[in-house]
Amino acid sequence: MPVFRARVLSPVGPREIDYWEDGVVVVEDQWITEVGPYDGLPIDEDLRPGLLTPGFVDGHVHFPQARIVGAASGPLLRWLERSVFPEEARFADVEYASAVAREFCDALARAGTTLALIYGSVHAEACQCLLEELDRRGLRAIVGPVLMDQGAPPELLRPKERALADLAALEERWRDHPRLKIAVIPRFALSCSEEMMRAAAALASERGLWVSTHISENLEECQLTRDRFSAPDYLEVYERVGLIHERTVLAHCIHLSAGEWDRVAGAGSVVAHCPDSNAFLGSGSMPIAEALSREVPLTLGSDVAAGRSLRIPTAMAYAHDNGLRTNERLDPRQLLWWGTRGGAQALGHDQVGALRVGMVADMVLHALPERIQGEEAVLASLLFDGDRPAPLRTWVGGREL
Ligand SMILES: [Zn+2]
């Protein structure tokens, strides 16, 4: 039963946090059994002036792009062609995939990310390598190979039957895992036939799986999608085939119309906001007010490698900047919420994301100079100090990674 004395910061609600300058967190098995101001309890570890926070949640990240961070060959469609597809093709080699899986899991733990929704390459074997590594490390994740049967180099295409059979087999293999889940991930409309998307949606519904895809990221992509599917708007392409529901995570959502936002909200779908990626590829600024006013559940995405950092506090800082560009000044507590508890809830993980009694102990220890004191300054440093060192330690389910 480790008893930690530390500075403790945790979200309580979207704009409410708890902060204790001298706090205590008690972990029993995987559960948090006590948290609050330090009360004289005999301690196992004094972590002060270090700061304990919940682990971070990354709602959108690409495993097979881990080695191409910083490829500035955008915009989106050109970047996919020049940088992404050649790299993702390498994941046909299981040894290559295993090596990158080790690097990627190291990097997630180092970033303090304890739960992530991860896109794989098209290769089920590479996805299996990643799942084994995530399992070995003890991370929490929702993972799937991307589905593509058109619009990419031939070596990256999989016919619908084979792709879905591989996915179904993977799901059967990992079904009972306590921390890892399989997701259905049609990459985006331009890389899928309507039949592929329909069959993928059916598999997800049948087995109660999470769905994720990209939508409305780049204006050229939006136009090509509407033309190819003869649709009045982008969202309808996914609605027609049954991909839009409360277990769907939609990445980007930059150029949605007001009507599309209404339908996303009505369906209860989740938005993965990827502000760094949106800026780096020049895709545009996501109108965050549209999501806020409709109370759309939201998670932050690093979107590595279109995003340049796996660190979710960095995504929070970029989300702040994105907010200002769209005339919305966001409360830092709101940003913390999206990157922890709010993001976890949006992804169906109700037991993690906050340091509270009865919750599972997914936590991160941050170095923090003693001179930074008080809730506001500590939160500002955590989110906005671009030179802050990487987290010191990370725990998932009470177990240190
Ligand atoms: Zn993405």
| pLDDT class of 358 with cuts at 50, 70, 90 | very high
Please compute the mean of the pLDDT values over residues 171-196 and round it to a whole number. Answer: 98
pLDDT of residue 73: 86
Q: How far is the CA of 303 from the centre of ligand 1 (A)?
A: 5
Q: Give which of 323, 270, 214, 293 is closest to 57, Cα–Cα.
A: 270
Whether the CB-CB separation of 306 and 280 falls below 8 Å is answered with yes
Whether the CB-CB separation of 65 and 304 falls below 8 Å is answered with yes
**Residue-averaged pLDDT of the chain:** 97
Rg of the chain in Å (alpha carbons): 20
Q: How far is the CA of 251 from the centre of ligand 1 (A)?
A: 7
Q: How far is the CA of 294 from the centre of ligand 1 (A)?
A: 23
Q: How far is the CA of 203 from the centre of ligand 1 (A)?
A: 22
Q: How far is the CA of 133 from the centre of ligand 1 (A)?
A: 21
Which long-range contacts does 162-170 make (Cβ < 8 Å, 24+ apart)? 163/122, 163/196, 164/199, 164/200, 164/203, 166/124, 167/124, 167/200, 167/203, 168/203, 168/207, 169/124, 170/124, 170/127, 170/128, 170/131, 170/144, 170/145
- Considering the domain architecture, whether residues 35 and 129 belong to the same structural domain is answered as no
Domain count, the chain: 2
Q: How far is the CA of 30 from the centre of ligand 1 (A)?
A: 32
User: How far is residue 159's CA from residue 147's CA, in Å, rounded to a whole number?
Assistant: 9
In CATH, what number is assigned to the domain containing residue 48?
2.30.40.10
- Considering the domain architecture, whether residues 251 and 387 belong to the same structural domain is answered as no
User: How far is residue 235's CA from residue 267's CA, in Å, rounded to a whole number?
Assistant: 11
User: Is the preceding peptide bond at 306 cis, omega within 30 degrees of 0?
Assistant: no
Please compute the mean of the pLDDT values over residues 231-240 and round it to a whole number. Answer: 98
**Strand duo 3-13 + 16-28: pairing:** antiparallel
Q: How far is the CA of 60 from the centre of ligand 1 (A)?
A: 6
**Strand duo 140-144 + 146-147: pairing:** unpaired
| pLDDT class of 86 with cuts at 50, 70, 90 | very high
State the pTM of this model. 0.97
Q: How far is the CA of 84 from the centre of ligand 1 (A)?
A: 11
Q: How far is the CA of 334 from the centre of ligand 1 (A)?
A: 23
Q: How far is the CA of 62 from the centre of ligand 1 (A)?
A: 6
Please compute the mean of the pLDDT values over residues 270-294 and round it to a whole number. Answer: 97
Q: How far is the CA of 367 from the centre of ligand 1 (A)?
A: 30
Please compute the mean of the pLDDT values over residues 27-44 and round it to a whole number. Answer: 96
- Considering the domain architecture, whether residues 43 and 122 belong to the same structural domain is answered as no
pLDDT of residue 195: 97
Q: How far is the CA of 43 from the centre of ligand 1 (A)?
A: 43
Bridge partners (DSSP) of residue 394 are 364
- Considering the domain architecture, whether residues 138 and 180 belong to the same structural domain is answered as yes
Q: How far is the CA of 162 from the centre of ligand 1 (A)?
A: 23
Statement: residue 277 has pLDDT above 90: yes
User: How far is residue 134's CA from residue 106's CA, in Å, rounded to a whole number?
Assistant: 10
Please compute the mean of the pLDDT values over residues 289-309 and round it to a whole number. Answer: 97
Answer with the one of 322, 346, 370 that is the final residue of a domain.
346
Statement: residue 398 has pLDDT above 80: yes
pLDDT > 90 fraction of the chain, expressed in percent and rounded: 99
Answer with the one of 306, 326, 346 that is the final residue of a domain.
346
Q: How far is the CA of 147 from the centre of ligand 1 (A)?
A: 13
- Considering the domain architecture, whether residues 110 and 223 belong to the same structural domain is answered as yes
- Considering the domain architecture, whether residues 180 and 277 belong to the same structural domain is answered as yes
Q: How far is the CA of 79 from the centre of ligand 1 (A)?
A: 12
- Considering the domain architecture, whether residues 299 and 198 belong to the same structural domain is answered as yes
Q: How far is the CA of 88 from the centre of ligand 1 (A)?
A: 13
Q: How far is the CA of 25 from the centre of ligand 1 (A)?
A: 35
How far are the Cα atoms of 51, 270, 288, 299, 354 from residue 246, in angstroms, in the given order?
34, 7, 19, 14, 22
| pLDDT class of 364 with cuts at 50, 70, 90 | very high
In CATH, what number is assigned to the domain containing residue 177?
3.20.20.140
Statement: residue 74 has pLDDT above 90: no
Please compute the mean of the pLDDT values over residues 371-376 and round it to a whole number. Answer: 96
Q: What is the pLDDT of residues 317-350, one digit of tens each?
A: 999 999 999 999 999 999 999 999 999 999 999 9
All residues at 6 or more sequence positions from 376 whose CB lies less than 8 Å from its CB, including other chains: none
Q: Give which of 65, 86, 84, 122 is closest to 305, Cα–Cα.
A: 65
Statement: residue 160 has pLDDT above 80: yes
CA dihedral sign of residues 110, 60, 142, 165? negative
| pLDDT class of 291 with cuts at 50, 70, 90 | very high
The 10 Å Cβ neighbour count of residue 164 is 18
Q: How far is the CA of 235 from the centre of ligand 1 (A)?
A: 17
Whether the CB-CB separation of 236 and 257 falls below 8 Å is answered with no
Which residue matches tokens 């390598």? 129
Q: How far is the CA of 61 from the centre of ligand 1 (A)?
A: 6
Statement: residue 1 has pLDDT above 90: no
User: How far is residue 102's CA from residue 66's CA, in Å, rounded to a whole number?
Assistant: 11
Q: How far is the CA of 237 from the centre of ligand 1 (A)?
A: 18
Q: Which domain holds residue 31?
A: 3-54+352-400
Q: How far is the CA of 289 from the centre of ligand 1 (A)?
A: 22
- Considering the domain architecture, whether residues 186 and 275 belong to the same structural domain is answered as yes
- Considering the domain architecture, whether residues 286 and 358 belong to the same structural domain is answered as no
- Considering the domain architecture, whether residues 77 and 99 belong to the same structural domain is answered as yes
